Amino acid sequence: MPLRVGVDAWNLVGDRRGIGRYVRQILTRWAAWPQRVTVVLLVPERAAWFVRSRYMRALGDIRLPVRHRSSASTTDVVWYPWNGMSWIAPNLCVATLHDASLFSLPPADAQIQEREQRPFRVAARHARRILTTSEFSKAELVLHLQLDPATVDVVHLGVDERFFMTGVQRNQQSTPGGARPYLLFVGEPEERKGLRIVFEAMTMLPEQLRSEIDLIIAGATGEYQLPAVPPSIHVQNRGWVNDADLAMLYARASALVYVSRYEGFGLPIVEAMAASTPVIAGDAPGPREAGGNAALYVPTDDPAALARAMTQVLAGGELTSRLRTLGTQRAAELSWDTTAGRTLELIEETAARALA
């Protein structure tokens, strides 16, 4: 008999970040495994039938039952994928905590800090098992939440096939049709992501190179204010982009620049690698775990070192070629099929132990 898994779906419609991609990719695969798992989306709206179409569109019109949270007890286990538990199901609970940035880099306002950390603390108290995306995140969560390491499992993220496809299709030239070459920054421009450092590094590029290269920002939703753009560099803010457009941005970029000083994993790193795009990454534990030996690492707070790395990669040659080759190999080691399968396996094991 398939395991009945209720999924806390409250943010499925609104989350356009990497966490949203993680949840959608896993649910898409679980929906294709009916002999193994029956999935029910648990939503905060009491008139769940009325909002069902919104949740289905967020999943690409995959058909799954949508129920109010009060139906949680009809499932065997409830999975909370959104960084903690904002409500507590009466049955077995498993939660994914993606990183511990809210504890290592807490908000300055004490009330905001308490509010944003609370779902993590609730999960630490009530979830039978915690899942996370890297060994680095596991160590951080164990430290900050006083978790038993034996109750925390690591499941690395995957890479969507579309990014490999655009990598195969890319031209020898990074930007076909006479377009200007560009470096790519993917993500929200919150302070820890290092966009200010990227801007500063670009001002340090040799003058001719600086005049010829753009920086494209993809994924900024407007929640965070962009740093002031120095007048000597060229920046395009594309805002949020859909997956197809993001895949093309990766494939045509001269390099991805990802110098976040704190990251649980760093999904854009491996997505860019799948598209055969060189990656310059900050030398932080999470990104190193994501990129392995396939990225060019620089100190996260050193714009001069970043400028030198940009210059090296933009020059092409053996280094750039090696980063492309190693990156494609690294990305091929990660798949959403594996992520979804291992996640379900751990939930199944948790449920079996609870019933033993």
Report residue 178's pLDDT band, with 50, 70 and 90 as the boundaries: low
- pLDDT of 103 reads 97
Q: Is 302 exposed, middle or buried (0-12, 13-18, 19+ CB in 10 A)?
A: middle
- pLDDT of 331 reads 97
Q: What angle, 0 to 180 degrees and rounded to 10, lies between the N-to-C axes of helices 267-274 and 243-252?
A: 70
Within 10 Å of residue 295's Cβ, how many Cβ atoms?
29
- pLDDT of 173 reads 46
Report residue 15's pLDDT band, with 50, 70 and 90 as the boundaries: confident
Does the pLDDT value for residue 167 go beyond 70? no
Contact by Cβ (8 Å): 131, 153 = yes
> Within a 13 Å sphere around the CA of 175, how many CA atoms are in the beta-carbon half?
16
Total residues found in the chain within this entry: 356
Report residue 18's pLDDT band, with 50, 70 and 90 as the boundaries: confident
pLDDT digits (tens, 9 = 90+) for 34-81: 999 999 999 999 999 999 999 999 998 789 999 999 999 999 999 999
- pLDDT of 179 reads 78
pLDDT digits (tens, 9 = 90+) for 69-123: 999 999 999 999 999 999 999 999 999 999 999 999 999 999 999 999 999 999 9
User: Side by side, which strands form the sheet with 255-258?
Assistant: 234-239, 214-218, 182-186, 255-258, 279-282, 296-298
Contact by Cβ (8 Å): 296, 319 = yes
Contact by Cβ (8 Å): 189, 225 = yes
pLDDT digits (tens, 9 = 90+) for 251-261: 999 999 999 99
The partner residues of 67 in beta bridges, in order of sequence, read 42
- pLDDT of 168 reads 63
Model pTM score:
0.93
Q: Name the 3-class secondary structure at 304.
A: helix
Contact by Cβ (8 Å): 155, 346 = yes
- pLDDT of 170 reads 59
Q: Name the 3-class secondary structure at 75.
A: coil
Measured CA to CA, the distance from residue 336 to residue 161 in angstroms comes to 9
For residue 167, what are the CA distances in angstroms to 29, 174, 225, 243, 249?
Answer: 23, 11, 31, 14, 11
Q: Are strands 279-282 and 255-258 parallel, antiparallel or unpaired?
A: parallel
Of 292, 257, 293, nearest in space to 272 by CA: 257
Task: Summarize the confidence of residues 13-42 as an average pLDDT.
Answer: 94
For residues 63 and 355, the model is more confident at 63
Does the pLDDT value for residue 175 go beyond 70? no
Measured CA to CA, the distance from residue 269 to residue 250 in angstroms comes to 10
Helix or strand holding residue 294 (H, E): none
For residues 306 and 177, the model is more confident at 306
Measured CA to CA, the distance from residue 190 to residue 122 in angstroms comes to 25
- pLDDT of 303 reads 98
Does the pLDDT value for residue 171 go beyond 60? no
Does the pLDDT value for residue 172 go beyond 90? no
Which domains, ranges and CATH numbers included, belong to the chain? 3-157+336-350 (3.40.50.2000), 161-332 (3.40.50.2000)
- pLDDT of 269 reads 98
Contact by Cβ (8 Å): 98, 138 = no
